[in-house]
Structure formats: C-alpha cells, structure tokens
C-alpha cells in the first residue's frame, strides 16, 4: 500500500510516494521524534519556571517576615484610626514588595549566569557575584557558598526537562532524599550568611527576623519536597 503526500511550493505541485515498508516506518519514526523534540521545554521556558519558583519562595518569606496589620471592628467606628490602618496596610504592601525585590536580586544574577553556563559553558564569576550581593565583607565567603550551591541547583534544573517546576525537580533529582540533601545544604549555607550579617546589625529585632526566615525556608522546602515526591 502506498502513501501520497502533496503540497504546493511556489506554483508547482510536488508528490512524494512512500511505500508502506521500511522507509515508511523510518519516516514515521523520524516524525514522531521531531514531535517529541518540539514538545520539550525550551531553555528560556525552563529559566522562567525557575524564576517564578524563586519569586513564589521570596513571597512566602515576605509573608512571614512582614506582618500584615490587623483590622479590628472598633477601628471602623473611628475614622482617623481607620485611615491610619490603611496607611499601615500600604506600608505593609510596600515592605513586602521591597523584601521580594531585594531577595531576588542575587537569585536573578545567579540564574542568568547559570543559563549562560548551560548554553555556552562560560563559568560564573562567583567572587564577583558575592560582591554584588551587597553583604559585609566577612560574609562574602559564606555567600559564595550559597551562590555556588544555587548555580549547581539551577544547572541541574536547566539540564532537565519538564512542563512545570515540579517536573523539572523530579527529572533532575529522581527522589525526595536527593532533593532534600541539596535543600538542606542550601539551608545550612544560608544560615552561615545570616549569622555573619546579623553581627553587623544593631537592631534587636534582626535576630528574630533571621530566625523567622530560616524556619520559613526550611518549612517551605520540606513541604515542597513532600509535594513533589509524595509517599
């Protein structure tokens, strides 16, 4: 049995005839392979999935650190207090936004550098990235360790394939234990940075804020691992 494929190129008709034999099988196999290749997530799409995840993580931390003001019923009865509440609410919203933006600055740089590493092989300048992170000089070594771990983690995800972030993680790490090992190393490296930074801060609340960030990070990553790798 023969298969006929016709199309117009310019003004001429072209007809290809494939016998329903080995050549036809090869054609179908090649076409199927091209369709699978086209369905794979592009490097740009994977980078966007990773960035969106980092944004969600930063927003989670911001919700824990920047507390939303509470509205009591009696505030509604006193106009000036009600106005003050909305002023505090606006400050809360701005504070969360600034927290997220600041937290993501180094993450964005690392992700950009890692994407270049994966596509061209150019290694990130970790020392330069640590300086750009704007941490005290005695914390830069600890920050460099965090950045190195992020480069390794992002590279694993960028070299994997999946339609969403969870799928990228499953493709890259295969098991919950493997993923948690990386996340735990990142938690410990971040704690070292926070400890070095807090020593330069005079605000009494700094230690409490850091502990909140550490606890929220660990909880988020543990629950995420359990969701991605259930059972």
pLDDT digits (tens, 9 = 90+) for 179-199: 999 999 999 999 999 999 998
Q: Tell me the domain boundaries of the chain.
A: 2-38, 43-228
pLDDT tens, 104-113? 999 999 999 9
Note the pLDDT of residue 8: 37
At residue 69, does pLDDT exceed 80?
no
Specify which residues 4 forms β-bridges with. Answer: 17
Q: In whole angstroms, what is the distance from residue 87 CA to residue 41 CA?
A: 44
The reported pTM is 0.76
Note the pLDDT of residue 31: 45
Q: What is the 3-state secondary structure (H, E, C) of the chain?
A: CEEEEEEEECCEEEEEEEECCHHHHHHHHHHHHHHHHHHCCCHHHHHHHHHHHHHHHHHHHHHHHCCCCCCCHHHHHCHHHHHHHHHHHHHHHHHHHHHHHHHHHHHHHHHHHHHHHHHHCCCCCHHHHHHHCCCCHHHHHHHHHHHHHHHHHHHHHHCCCCCCHHHHHHHHHCCHHHHHHHHHHHHHHHHHHHHHHHCCCCCCHHHHHHHHHHHHHHHHHHHHHHHHCCC
At residue 11, does pLDDT exceed 80?
no
pLDDT band at 78 (very low <50, low <70, confident <90, very high): low
**What average pLDDT does this structure show over 136-153?**
97
């Amino acid at each position: 049995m023969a298969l006929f494929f016709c199309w117009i190129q310019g003004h001429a008709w072209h007809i290809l005839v494939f016998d329903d034999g080995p050549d036809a099988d090869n054609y179908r196999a090649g076409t199927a392979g091209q369709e699978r290749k086209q369905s794979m997530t592009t490097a740009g799409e994977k980078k966007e999935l990773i960035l969106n995840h980092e944004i969600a993580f930063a927003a989670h931390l911001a919700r824990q650190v920047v507390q939303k003001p509470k509205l009591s019923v009696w505030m509604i009865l006193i106009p000036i207090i009600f106005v003050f509440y909305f002023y505090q609410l606006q400050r809360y919203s701005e504070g969360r936004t600034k927290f997220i933006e600041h937290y993501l600055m180094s993450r964005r740089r690392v992700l950009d550098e890692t994407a270049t590493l994966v596509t061209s092989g150019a290694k990130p300048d970790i020392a330069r990235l640590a300086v750009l992170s704007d941490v005290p000089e005695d914390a830069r070594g600890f920050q460099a360790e965090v950045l190195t771990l992020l480069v390794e983690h992002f590279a694993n995800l960028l070299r994997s394939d999946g339609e969403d972030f969870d799928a990228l993680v499953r493709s890259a790490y295969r098991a919950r234990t493997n993923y948690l090992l990386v996340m735990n190393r990142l938690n410990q490296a971040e704690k070292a940075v926070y400890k070095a930074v807090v020593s330069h801060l005079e605000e009494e609340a700094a230690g409490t804020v850091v502990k909140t960030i550490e606890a929220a990070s660990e909880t988020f990553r543990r629950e995420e691992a359990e969701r991605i790798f259930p059972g």
